[in-house]
Structure 1
């Protein structure tokens, strides 16, 4: 990162216009400088301002993003920014032994299938920008930036008067953006599915999610927006939130960035304020809520893996979905990572970052990640 870029980021954070991704990059670069013994770029009369901004974005000072320090000896600090990464582990460098060459596995990208009410299944990878399909009075288009847009006129209903439902699914190694007919924006992560009506009729806007999705809900007080996932229901009026509800994750997590949501699971419910997260135990049905690093939970849509004291098993699950590989979870060391990895790097590079910071070694055999 050049001095001018660092300066520009600090100015955006100071005036409140910085995105979560930009705050992540600022913190990561600052920590990397300190970890390497370097000094923060000092230009006239601005060093004090930078430190003041740093305090604003430090743990306990902001709800949008926190960069927690490692609390246990087994934890690892990983800081990656603009292609430069530094590490700290018990104040001593790790030693990684020579390993066999790993196959080149590229990161995932925009990929999805759209299934229409009449059974047509459209590969959105192959569709050029422009018209995709139509259903009654609904026009479906794909924009130049790869987003699928639903344009609704009157409510779309089938011949029997029932809503017309569509489904957007992403494969492992895929993600996609969708603009619903009410103006709600949805980002769908890898190995996920969203089932939704082609147009919202009645007194509610209800969709069904499996996997992970980030929602920016268009406000409409007369029609609450409801996200139904296998074990819970999230009800909102207009807000920004992330839901992770993968079948292979032990917890279903709802993270709120803006607004207010109500999470219901069985006989339990929780109302979240910005900066809070609910966690539903899929086995016991227990629903808990509390403060969380919600910006880190939604960082995937901005092109980053952000780990916040995250166990290696959770890290590997996220990598395996994005790079469309399997993972061997036997004999995993109980180490934790805190830091950021760009989602656009090849798998080998991501694993190398984890190897150096965690003093572990990875191998890929038959499209499966193995930990040594």
Structure 2
């Protein structure tokens, strides 16, 4: 059997035997992969989900082209020395023309997958296991393969990455809880990534657009280029800019996503289909299919990149959640207890110093047990 122990989702989508099994329904490909390489099951399932997301008509081909498709598949399998499977190829002669057409299309170019459903593809790639986010290390992946691990907060730039990746490759930066990162893209755009953020970006942008994907929180200073718009996509909204600086908070597990504009102007594609234009000092907030735009003090939303946390009339639960990500610690708090706070915290302090500051200004008691901080309201 061929070596599948290191297969990623992309590898399965380029594997002729996987495509043959998926579209024909014949054989026990799935069972054998799981039996021999159980840790590959998530990648295999993801590949199946991406194929299932495709929506296109299966054309009917004349018998001659059906035979050509079958022959092409047969030759591919022979090249992989999978002789024990050859007898199944003759069954393909009896497939319907529509199924053979599907195989032919996939052989012509598996890139049809990415062109048909790019949003599903990239947003799926943003997902990482909690264990990775809690590792205390920032990791750089190229096409789903780990390339670098950083113990401290990295400051990456295009020249550093260019030595490791080639044109057309996709980079994924995973900033774990307790870490931050800064990256300079190939066009000079600068990004500050907060703790618990996953960022997808290409080494080289396409000719007509610049596009990145984010799960988490970033502050971004976009290099102006009217002929090549900059697009940021999250799980719930899209942002189009020409040249501006702003903060995006779009953690997957947060009920509310927000954009705070510092300079310039941006257009936001809300989840309900509306396009909203926001101006400096505007905050765009979205939860489910509803959104609100209001005026704010931008310092309260971008100070984290300078090592400070500023807040005004902010719920304590939200502050504790930010601290939990920033310091990579667990903080338990009853969200039903509504307390609002105003002030500033120096994020260069330890988590113990930060929590002591909170106990001095808010009616709470903080205890620690088994590396878990517990925050309770003082009884009157």
Q: TM-score range by the shorter chain?
A: 0.5 to 0.7
Task: Please say if 1:268 is aligned against 2:274.
Answer: yes
Match in the other structure for 2:302: 298
Match in the other structure for 2:203: 198
What is the CA–CA distance in structure 2 between the aligned matches of 1:257 and 1:364, rounded to whole Å? 38
Cα separation, partners in 2 of 1:211 and 1:146, compared to 1, 3 Å: closer
Q: CA deviation at 1:340?
A: 0.3
Match in the other structure for 1:119: 145
Task: Please say if 1:185 is aligned against 2:190.
Answer: yes
Match for residue 290 of structure 2 among 286, 289, 313: 286
SS in 2 for 1:199: coil
Cα separation, partners in 2 of 1:157 and 1:189, compared to 1, 3 Å: closer
Number of positions where the alignment pairs a residue of Structure 1 with one of Structure 2: 240
| Higher share in helix | 2
What is the CA–CA distance in structure 2 between the aligned matches of 1:114 and 1:213, rounded to whole Å? 16
SS in 2 for 1:298: helix
Query: CA deviation digits over 1:292-327, x for unaligned, max 9?
Result: 122210110010011111111101101111111122
Match in the other structure for 1:277: 283
Task: Please say if 1:339 is aligned against 2:343.
Answer: yes
What is the CA–CA distance in structure 2 between the aligned matches of 1:328 and 1:371, rounded to whole Å? 6
SS in 2 for 1:213: strand
What is the CA–CA distance in structure 1 between the aligned matches of 2:355 and 2:219, rounded to whole Å? 26
Query: CA deviation digits over 1:323-368, x for unaligned, max 9?
Result: 1112223265311111100001111111111111112111122222
Q: CA deviation at 1:157?
A: 9.6
| Higher share in strand | 1
Q: CA deviation at 1:111?
A: 5.0
Q: CA RMSD in A?
A: 2.5
CA contact (8 A) 2:161 2:203 kept: no
Match in the other structure for 2:122: none
Max radius of gyration: which structure? Answer: 2
SS in 2 for 1:173: coil
Match in the other structure for 2:251: 246
Q: TM-score, normalised by structure 2?
A: 0.59
What is the CA–CA distance in structure 2 between the aligned matches of 1:198 and 1:122, rounded to whole Å? 15
Match for residue 220 of structure 1 among 208, 225, 228: 225
Cα separation, partners in 2 of 1:175 and 1:296, compared to 1, 3 Å: same
SS in 1 for 2:186: coil
Q: CA deviation at 1:113?
A: 1.1
Match in the other structure for 1:356: 360
Match in the other structure for 1:308: 312
What is the CA–CA distance in structure 2 between the aligned matches of 1:346 and 1:166, rounded to whole Å? 32
Unpaired segments ≥5 residues, structure 2: 1-133
Q: CA deviation at 1:285?
A: 1.4
Query: CA deviation digits over 1:249-302, x for unaligned, max 9?
Result: 221000000000111123122111000010010xx3112212112221011001
What is the CA–CA distance in structure 2 between the aligned matches of 1:285 and 1:119, rounded to whole Å? 35
Match in the other structure for 1:257: 262
Match in the other structure for 2:156: 148
SS in 1 for 2:239: strand
SS in 2 for 1:120: strand
CA contact (8 A) 1:270 1:288 kept: no
CA contact (8 A) 1:269 1:287 kept: no
Unpaired segments ≥5 residues, structure 1: 1-107, 127-144
Q: TM-score, normalised by structure 1?
A: 0.61
What is the CA–CA distance in structure 2 between the aligned matches of 1:207 and 1:321, rounded to whole Å? 22
Query: CA deviation digits over 1:104-149, x for unaligned, max 9?
Result: xxxx9x95211123723310237xxxxxxxxxxxxxxxxxx94111
What is the CA–CA distance in structure 2 between the aligned matches of 1:120 and 1:349, rounded to whole Å? 35
CA contact (8 A) 1:111 1:176 kept: no
Query: CA deviation digits over 1:207-263, x for unaligned, max 9?
Result: 000000010000111100011011000110110000001123221000000000111
